[in-house]
Amino acid sequence: MARMMLKNLPFMKMHGLGNDFVVLDARDHPIPLPEALIKRIGHRHFGVGFDQLAVIESGTADAHLVFYNADGSMSAACGNATRCIARFLMVELGKSELSLTTERGTLFAKDLGNGLTSVNMGAPQLMWRDIPLASEMDTLYLPIEGQPTATGMGNPHCTFFVENAENIDLSKRGAEIEVHPLFPQKTNVQFASIISDNHLRMRVWERGVGVTLASGSSSCATAVAAARRGLTGRSVTIDLDGGQISIDWQDDGVWMTGPTAHVFSGEFTSEFLGAFYD
């Protein structure tokens, strides 16, 4: 397998609102991914660069998705990557709706037309044990300065509501909160400002990645947190650094809708891959 891959390993580069991904298609054969290779692919100078690496595998649904962060760690959920891959697969399979399995569970996607793809990210996790947090506590107001809200979307999130998200030192505060002891698996961090009862401005620090232009699961978590705190309704538009996304927390789960982009396709060379396979 390694020798086959050294000759030819295609990939796709995609993004959702600037939240960018390298996507590998492993439906025909498995692709072994050493942690060192994931990190090198994710390096924006020595590799291709990504916020997440996504692998498409065969499964009981239309496809199964596996996600990795830029530091090589796995992530159970990646909303924007799911939307990007859903768009790719709907075009390939000639479908306007499909289902994708992830560690988060089965996610349903549909084409809304006008370049918009919607994915149901499932029900939010609101109990401390499910997020998870280190001990039992009120997830709506955490005992952290700023009283953020904790939400699980298959991965943990910590959302601060602030007067002006633009004034936050995101690199400093995000890095601090990501490793807060209340979050045993670390956490994604969001800082959000209320524009109106259906409009938010949000900035994101992603666990295992750093500052990103957008995050689908973070957008879902922030919308859920804002609705739970009575700051907005359950359907909101969120302005991210990379653009605008719509979130609708319905009875069947949290629907996330926005544009996607397949930027280019390429191949990893044997020269690049050789250092990572025997």
pLDDT bucket at 278, cuts 50 / 70 / 90: low
pLDDT in tens, 169-218: 999 999 999 999 999 999 999 999 999 999 999 999 999 999 999 999 99
Provide CB contacts within 8 A for 220, sequence distance 6+: 79, 121, 124, 153, 247, 249, 254, 256
CATH class of residue range 2-120+260-276: alpha beta
pLDDT bucket at 275, cuts 50 / 70 / 90: confident
pLDDT in tens, 44-67: 999 999 999 999 999 899 999 999
On average, the pLDDT of the chain sits at: 95
How far apart, in whole angstroms, are the C-alpha atoms of residue 157 and residue 148? 10
Relative orientation angle of helices 79-93 and 216-228, to the nearest 10 degrees = 120
pLDDT at 4: 45
Most distant CA atoms of the chain, gap in Å: 56
What's the pTM value of the predicted model, to 2 decimals? 0.92
CATH 3.10.310.10 fits 149-251, yes or no: yes
Nearest to 51 by CA among 30, 78, 91, 88: 78
pLDDT surpasses 80 at 135: yes
Half-sphere exposure at residue 37, Cβ-oriented, CA atoms within 13 angstroms: 21
pLDDT surpasses 90 at 152: yes
The answer to whether residues 68 and 56 touch, using CB atoms and an 8 Å cutoff, is: no
Structural domain boundaries of the chain? 2-120+260-276, 149-251
In CATH terms, are 2-120+260-276 and 149-251 the same topology? yes
